[in-house]
């Protein structure tokens, strides 16, 4: 806790150094040369064709459309790229028309620009995809707003922009879905490799990466391009089985930890679990290899290890029902572990067989048909609109970001209009691109854009050192710069900015030949970038949004997700009936996504000055305790399969109600910023132990509810501690 109390000074040099390091960092895993090649090819084809057919001005507009439309496919919109690209194309075409038409009347133009920027900022509430669409629309408004045109000419320019974006979208649609479903196989293979890492205890024992990868795989298989294909049923079955394996692995890990804590680690199942999981990881990796084009995987070694565990555990299974060892905690956990190992073995055999069928091309029973895509799209749109409406409050990070954009972008336009700066519209462009909903993102992106623009000026200087470029040379240079920008988009924002600077400068010179030398244009861009970035940072500093409150709200949402999941899992044990499996799966997915969002929000908060961030030790402790709770709930769910669940358990109803109530109270306390007042859980658990004494098959239930009590009491104790004072 001492580290958390140290250096709470706002504006600490640590924040600036982190921003600089973030700007200089290159994430090699984010390099995407294949996707970049396709996007760059689209831009190049649009430029070459339009130069030949309609001239340089229209060619620049069409290329801008292709350039901006390609970004969603490389960003967080990768799960639904075509929809995001089509939406972006419509947005930038409309923005270019409105920006150009309103440019005749400065007050009206600024007023519409403020509304445009506000609307684009609100789309941040929809995540990365919404943020990209909103930013691209604002950029198009600013760029084309410098050309005051009548409705006819503005419509022509918008049509060129739309044509470029439409071509880029069509190219992606054509090349994204290979006949052999290689993209879908690769996505599922990635998920199975993560499952293999999870079986071996990595990454850090979290099942979140595998869960998110399986979600991405399901989205790939639900795309309209493959919706009616008959050869995806085996792949869909692999995704469904992968979900079961993920839950089973999480349950096994929880049981191993509990068994080790109770000192019962010498049971046959516990001694053999590492060997079984090692062979399970081999099978999971083999499934991934098979999907990538390799051979089917063998399960012989896995069968040998499972048989060894079953043979060692069999004498214990023949004990009398009234043997006191059956009611020993270690024995109950060992038996549960053996049961889960057997279940995992069956699932691994199933996926090995499915992989063999997919490789051989043999028929696989079709998965249940998905609901119609039109109804699904309507539901998705309605949900997105509801999300945006729910964020129309100054308490919302998205709304505060939208208000800042609505102020800073028109302000940047005014600065450009009333100063002698050349190409002043880049001030507004930079401000719109740099300003992010969070402090850390705004600062690091501003620094990265400055570094990148400086490098881009150098690139442009080298490119135009020999004089003006001809049309053929321009096409080649644009192709190379576009490939560099798209390749580095996710790996380094500074590198992306460097390539983009050169690309935009060449396009501007193409649209307005002779108006400015390319190198002088690049220098103008450097000056405008500094001014726009400084303006964005100044506006954020004047009205910041710190993420500590959002982080607490994210913890509250995670707690509510665990509350709903626990209530559904315990329902059949307290006489309320079993929750349908589809509903239980949806609740588990909500819990997983809530954890993912919570971890991202906390990480964002920790990038802010110490005096403004959430207490890192508190957040980590609450996250760890809630994970223990969710793992115990997973074990209960997977152990209570139909036909194996006991009847209503005596003494459980009061404890289950108290556990659910305690989670609700914790969520409310997180939102209100106060200490929680949870009911006393330990006495109720003691009552459950007394009520189930002598009943066969209750041991695992007692152990897992004990884990739940411990985890929830830990969260309550952490939140009851006084906050660390700042200096």
* 533 and 454 Cβ atoms separated by less than 8 Å: no
pLDDT for 292 equals 78
pLDDT for 12 equals 43
List % helix, strand, coil for the chain (3-state, nearest 5).
75, 0, 25
For 592, the token pair is 């997983």
Sign of CA dihedral 472, 478, 481, 487: negative
Pick the CATH number of 548-720 from 1.10.260, 1.10.3470, 2.60.40, 1.20.58: 1.20.58
Judged by DSSP in three states, 34 sits in helix
Q: Chain centroid to CA 281: how far?
A: 25
Report residues of the chain scoring pLDDT below 70: 1-24, 29, 76-80, 176-181, 202-205, 222-233, 262-271, 294, 312-331, 359-380, 423, 461, 464-469, 511-519, 521-522, 639-648, 696-697, 722-727
For residues 119 and 405, what is the distance between their CA atoms, to the nearest angstrom?
9
For residues 250 and 538, what is the distance between their CA atoms, to the nearest angstrom?
46
Find, among 651, 630, 628, the residue nearest to 564 by Cα.
630
DSSP character string of 409-425: HHHHHHHHHTS--TTTH
Q: Chain centroid to CA 237: how far?
A: 24
What angle in degrees, to the nearest 10, is found between the helix axes of 106-122 and 128-144?
170
For residues 275 and 269, what is the distance between their CA atoms, to the nearest angstrom?
10
For residues 715 and 663, what is the distance between their CA atoms, to the nearest angstrom?
9
Percent of the residues in the chain that have a pLDDT greater than 70, as a whole number? 79
For residues 309 and 703, what is the distance between their CA atoms, to the nearest angstrom?
22
Residues in the chain, overall count? 727
Q: Chain centroid to CA 629: how far?
A: 23
- Residue 607: partners with Cβ closer than 8 Å, 6 or more residues away: 15, 18, 438, 439, 440, 441, 444, 613
- Residue 86: partners with Cβ closer than 8 Å, 6 or more residues away: 169
pLDDT for 662 equals 94
C-alpha separations of 592 from 212, 251, 283, 558, 608 in Å? 8, 15, 25, 9, 25
Radius of gyration for the chain, computed over Cα atoms and rounded to the nearest angstrom: 29
Q: Where are the alpha helices (DSSP H) in 128-224?
A: 128-144, 151-176, 182-199, 208-221
For 285, the token pair is 């990796």
Find, among 547, 551, 560, the residue nearest to 668 by Cα.
560
DSSP state of 405: H
Phi, psi of 491 (to 5 degrees): -90, -35
For residues 654 and 725, what is the distance between their CA atoms, to the nearest angstrom?
39
Sign of CA dihedral 509, 512, 513, 515: negative
For residues 43 and 27, what is the distance between their CA atoms, to the nearest angstrom?
25
* 444 and 23 Cβ atoms separated by less than 8 Å: yes
Find, among 119, 155, 157, 152, the residue nearest to 138 by Cα.
119
C-alpha separations of 161 from 44, 168, 503, 559 in Å? 14, 11, 17, 46
Residue indicated by tokens 């620049």: 60
DSSP state of 201: T
Start and end residues for every CATH 1.20.58 domain found in the chain: 548-720
C-alpha atoms less than 13 angstroms from C-alpha of 52 in its C-beta half-sphere: 7
Beta strands in 418-557 (DSSP E): none
Per residue in 529-566, is it b (16+ CB within 10 Å) or e — as a string? bbbbbbbbbebbeeebbbbbebbbbbbbbbbbbbbbbb
Find, among 500, 382, 404, 412, the residue nearest to 118 by Cα.
404
């Amino acid at each position: 806790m001492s580290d958390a109390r140290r250096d709470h000074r706002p504006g600490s040099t640590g924040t600036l150094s982190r921003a600089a390091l973030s700007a200089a960092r290159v994430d090699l895993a984010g390099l995407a040369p294949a996707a970049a090649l396709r996007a760059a090819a689209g831009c190049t084809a649009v430029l070459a064709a339009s130069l030949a057919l309609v001239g340089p001005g229209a060619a620049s507009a069409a290329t801008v459309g292709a350039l901006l439309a390609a970004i969603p496919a490389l960003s967080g919109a990768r799960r639904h790229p075509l929809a995001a690209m089509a939406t972006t194309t419509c947005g930038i075409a409309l923005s270019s028309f409105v920006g150009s038409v309103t440019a005749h009347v400065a007050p009206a133009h600024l007023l519409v620009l403020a509304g445009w920027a506000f609307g684009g900022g609100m789309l941040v509430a929809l995540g990365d995809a919404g943020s990209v669409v909103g930013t691209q629309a604002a950029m198009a408004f600013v760029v084309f707003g410098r050309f005051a045109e009548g409705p006819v000419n503005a419509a022509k320019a918008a049509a060129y922009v739309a044509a470029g974006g439409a071509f880029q979208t069509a190219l992606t649609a054509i090349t994204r879905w290979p006949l052999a479903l290689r993209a879908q196989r690769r996505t599922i293979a990635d998920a199975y490799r993560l499952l293999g890492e999870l079986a071996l205890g990595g990454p850090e024992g979290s099942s979140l990466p595998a869960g998110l990868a399986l979600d991405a795989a399901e989205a790939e298989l639900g795309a309209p391009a493959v919706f009616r294909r008959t050869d995806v049923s085996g792949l869909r079955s692999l995704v469904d089985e992968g979900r079961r394996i993920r839950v089973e692995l999480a349950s096994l890990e929880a049981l191993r930890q509990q068994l080790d804590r109770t000192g019962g680690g010498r049971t046959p199942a516990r001694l053999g679990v590492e060997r079984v999981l090692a062979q399970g990881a081999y099978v999971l990796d083999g499934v991934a290899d098979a999907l990538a084009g390799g051979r089917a995987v063998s399960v012989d070694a896995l069968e040998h290890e499972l048989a060894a565990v079953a043979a060692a555990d069999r004498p214990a299974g023949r004990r009398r029902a009234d043997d006191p060892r059956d009611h020993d905690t270690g024995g109950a956990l060992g038996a549960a572990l053996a049961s889960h190992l057997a279940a995992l073995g069956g699932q691994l055999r199933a996926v090995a067989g499915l992989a063999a069928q997919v490789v051989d091309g043999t028929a696989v029973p079709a998965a249940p048909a998905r609901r119609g895509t039109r109804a699904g799209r309507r539901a998705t749109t309605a949900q997105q609109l509801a999300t945006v409406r729910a964020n129309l409050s100054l308490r919302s990070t998205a709304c505060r970001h939208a208000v800042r954009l609505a102020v800073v972008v028109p302000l940047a336009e005014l600065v450009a209009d009333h100063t002698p700066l050349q190409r002043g519209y880049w001030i507004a462009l930079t401000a719109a691109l740099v300003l992010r909903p969070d402090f850390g993102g705004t600062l690091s992106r501003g620094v990265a854009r400055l570094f990148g623009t400086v490098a881009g000026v150098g690139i442009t200087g080298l490119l135009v050192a020999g004089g003006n470029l001809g049309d053929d040379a321009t096409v080649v240079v644009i192709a190379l710069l576009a490939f560099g920008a798209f390749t580095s988009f996710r790996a380094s924002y500074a590198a992306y900015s460097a390539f983009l600077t050169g690309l935009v400068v060449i396009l501007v010179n193409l649209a307005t030949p002779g108006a400015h030398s390319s190198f002088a244009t690049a220098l103008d861009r450097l000056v405008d970038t500094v001014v726009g970035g400084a303006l964005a940072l100044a506006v954020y500093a004047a009205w910041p949004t710190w993420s500590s409150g959002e982080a607490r709200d994210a913890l509250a949402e995670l707690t509510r997700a665990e509350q709903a999941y626990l209530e559904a899992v315990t329902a059949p044990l307290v006489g309320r009936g079993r929750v349908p499996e589809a509903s239980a799966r949806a609740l588990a997915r909500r819990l997983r996504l809530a954890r993912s969002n919570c971890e991202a929000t906390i990480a964002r908060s920790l990038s802010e000055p110490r005096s403004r961030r959430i207490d890192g030790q508190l957040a980590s402790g609450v996250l760890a305790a809630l994970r223990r709770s969710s793992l115990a709930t997973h074990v209960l769910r997977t152990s209570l399969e139909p036909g194996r669940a006991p009847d209503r358990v005596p003494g459980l109803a009061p404890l289950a109600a108290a556990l659910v109530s305690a989670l609700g109270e914790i969520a409310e306390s997180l939102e209100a910023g106060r200490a929680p007042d949870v009911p006393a859980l330990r006495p109720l658990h003691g009552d459950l132990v007394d009520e189930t004494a002598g009943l066969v098959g209750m041991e695992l239930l007692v152990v897992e509810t004990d884990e739940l009590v411990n985890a929830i009491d830990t969260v309550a104790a952490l939140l009851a501690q006084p906050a660390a004072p700042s200096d």
